[in-house]
Structure 1
Amino acid sequence: MESVEKQVYAAKKTRRLSERKKDMLSGYLYVAPFFIVFGVIGLYPAIFSIVLAFQKWNGLGAMEYVGFGNFALVIQDPLFWKSLYNTVIIGLMGTAPQLVVGIILAYLLNMAALKFTNFFRVTIFMPYITSMVAVALIFGVFFSSNESALANYTLGLFGFDPVSWKTSEWGAKIAISLMVFWRWVGYNMIIYLAGLQSIPKDLYEAATIDGANKTQQFLHITMPLLRPFIMLTVFMSTVGALQLFAEPTVFLGSSAFNRDEAMTVVMYLYRDAFQLGSFGTASATAVLLLIIIVGAAGLNTWLTSGAGRKKKGAVKR
């Protein structure tokens, strides 16, 4: 009798294990498409690019191992440092103001007294979903080198000479920075607006009862509770600024890779790979850019979060 019970118990246990294995297998099958696609179009190109950074290859012939020779060529190239300088300057000019303006716009659009808030939200967010072709046409007309163009006409009203926006050193940087600002300020505004709407209204009511004015509420309630959203936008803006490619390429057109006034690091590695056929140096540039992005993003995140921890610690003491 006991042997029969043991056999029944063993059969039930085997059945449970088989059902658990089936559940695990079905779960893996559900998530498998993502990992397959990620491995093919994400992980494999990244690993291949790292391997290619140590090879000399023109895209067709056999590879030749050169060690750190590609990195040496890139670091010794003045155009690489020029492109890195352009990337940092355009990034600071285009992304730093949009974070500040995004917070201000989100704060204004979160006010209950403001009418037509949905209209303003959609209008400000619209550039983010606008086609880059349309953006290029708009800014190409606005920043044309003609004296009758809107930008030069506006400068003329204040007594300034016309600017050749696409060929001058700072003209191209300013125009591209404004394009980046115009396109992405609405995106950051929506993130900040979501953060503002997540703050409990009871905190503001209690602060009003205690006699705090709007400025004090903004500095001591809004900004501390908005810090996680600020950290997110700072991180994403840093990564996006260092990967800038579409805006300068579309704005400058066919001359984008022939001039260095607004060439970014991504444009530099694209030029090496697809115009000069030097995939090794292009991959080495990509690896260097990855190191720069990780360092810059980590530094910005540490600065953004470190200020809050320091202030919190000071209050506890």
Structure 2
Amino acid sequence: MIKRFLYSQKVAPYVFVLPFIAVFLIFWVYPLASSFSMSFQKLTLGQEAAWVGFDNYSKLITDGVFFKAVTNSVIYMVLTLLILIPFPMLFAVLINSKFMWGREFFKSSFFFPALTSVVVAGTIFRLMFGEMDTSLINSVLGFFGLDPVKFLKGQVTGYIALLVLATWRWTGVNMLYFLSGLKNIPDDYYEAAAIDGASKVQQFTKITMPLLKPTTIYVLTISIYAGLAMFIESMMLWNGNNSPKNIGLTIVGYLYRQGIEKNNLGYAAAVGIVLLAVTMIINLTQLAFSGLFKKEEN
């Protein structure tokens, strides 16, 4: 009876999707529901939880440090999008070109930083952007006769260090996404365009970019999430979660500060719910503008 039930054509699809549903419910829905419930409580380890209603959210509205963290994360996200969307696309087009030599070498070289531990990478970049005259970046500046810069002590220079780290680490990953998208574009389109007299720039703007739209939307979506969820890079770059004047504090960093460092789990849960809401709003907005939700006309 059990064997017949499992081998039933009507039951088989549900058996195959059951592991995914179980993982989704246990590791996403349940934690999300628990966090949402915790956000309405005053909760600390070792003490009984107390229901406080919207007090945690009311406190967030007047919390200047929280808005500083949100601002830092949003600026970081926008700047990474301006770098990690167009440049990986251009690199992918160049590597995919028929006249490109050493294609596999460049693909491996670009992707290698993604295999490096973010802890190791953050430590190395902290030493590179150190304030001593002998640090790598200041040594290069000194070679050109420029004064040393305390990169990790200023808001703008701190962003520069974070962006250099993000560019070094994620350019290769996004480039591979675009390469996979380029493989789905038939060469016949480019040959027909070349016969009609289209230049390389026209082929890129009229063929490559429109047909790469699904890949671009995917890369944009995951990049928005990655930008808003960035934490370890900042923590390693400033050797902790307490950067000068909170110039490197992110939303996740503020959640960590409240939940782990200050043992204020209810307030940290409210920060997490707000982060989820901001991420969903931004992503759904860009997906709507990209036309993903529009019905195709017959």
Shared fold per TM-score greater than 0.5: yes
Q: Which amino acid aligns with 1:284?
A: A
Q: Which amino acid aligns with 2:204?
A: F
CA distance in 1, matches of 2:128, 2:144: 17
Q: Deviations over 1:124-164 (max 9, x none)?
A: 01111111232123212211111122212233344543222
Tell me the TM-score normalised to structure 1 length.
0.85
Q: Deviations over 1:169-204 (max 9, x none)?
A: 222221112111111111110010111111001111
> How far did 1:20 drift?
5.0
CA distance in 2, matches of 1:64, 1:293: 28
CA RMSD of aligned residues (A): 2.4
Kindly tell me: are residues 229 and 26 of structure 1, through their superposed partners in 2, closer, same or farther at Cα, counting changes over 3 Å?
closer
Match of 1:53 in 2: 39
Q: Which amino acid aligns with 2:4?
A: E
1:190 paired with 2:176, answer: yes
Pick the aligned partner of 1:82 from 47, 62, 68.
68
1:131 paired with 2:117, answer: yes
Alignment of 1:101-120 (within 5 A): 101-120=87-106
Q: Is the 8 A contact 2:241 2:257 kept in 1?
A: no
1:222 paired with 2:208, answer: yes
Match of 2:234 in 1: 248
1:73 paired with 2:59, answer: yes
Match of 2:4 in 1: 19
Q: Is the 8 A contact 1:143 1:150 kept in 2?
A: yes
* Structure 2: gaps (5+ residues): none
Q: Deviations over 1:209-243 (max 9, x none)?
A: 11111111111011110111111111110111011
Q: Give the length in aligned residue pairs.
A: 294
> Which secondary structure does the structure 2 equivalent of 1:101 belong to?
helix
Alignment of 1:159-174 (within 5 A): 159-174=145-160
Higher mean alpha-carbon deviation, 295-304 vs 186-195, is at 295-304
* Structure 1: gaps (5+ residues): 1-14
Match of 1:5 in 2: none
Q: Is the 8 A contact 1:83 1:263 kept in 2?
A: yes
1:38 paired with 2:30, answer: no
Alignment of 1:232-311 (within 5 A): 232-256=218-242, 259-305=245-291
More helix per residue: 1 or 2? 1
1:203 paired with 2:189, answer: yes
CA distance in 1, matches of 2:271, 2:51: 17
Pick the aligned partner of 1:100 from 86, 102, 113.
86
CA distance in 1, matches of 2:38, 2:254: 17
> How far did 1:110 drift?
0.3
Kindly tell me: are residues 123 and 66 of structure 1, through their superposed partners in 2, closer, same or farther at Cα, counting changes over 3 Å?
same
Higher mean alpha-carbon deviation, 268-277 vs 137-146, is at 137-146
> How far did 1:106 drift?
0.2
Higher mean alpha-carbon deviation, 90-99 vs 106-115, is at 90-99
CA distance in 2, matches of 1:60, 1:47: 22
Of all paired residues, the percent bearing the same amino acid is 32
> How far did 1:299 drift?
2.2
Q: Is the 8 A contact 1:91 1:177 kept in 2?
A: no
Q: Deviations over 1:253-300 (max 9, x none)?
A: 135467501100010011000111111111111111111101111222
> Which secondary structure does the structure 1 equivalent of 2:85 belong to?
helix
> Which secondary structure does the structure 1 equivalent of 2:98 belong to?
coil
CA distance in 2, matches of 1:161, 1:244: 31
Q: Which has the larger radius of gyration?
A: 1
Higher mean alpha-carbon deviation, 65-74 vs 91-100, is at 91-100
Match of 1:10 in 2: none
> How far did 1:22 drift?
4.9
CA distance in 2, matches of 1:45, 1:285: 14
Tell me the TM-score normalised to structure 2 length.
0.91
1:148 paired with 2:134, answer: yes
Higher mean alpha-carbon deviation, 263-272 vs 17-26, is at 17-26
CA distance in 2, matches of 1:239, 1:146: 34
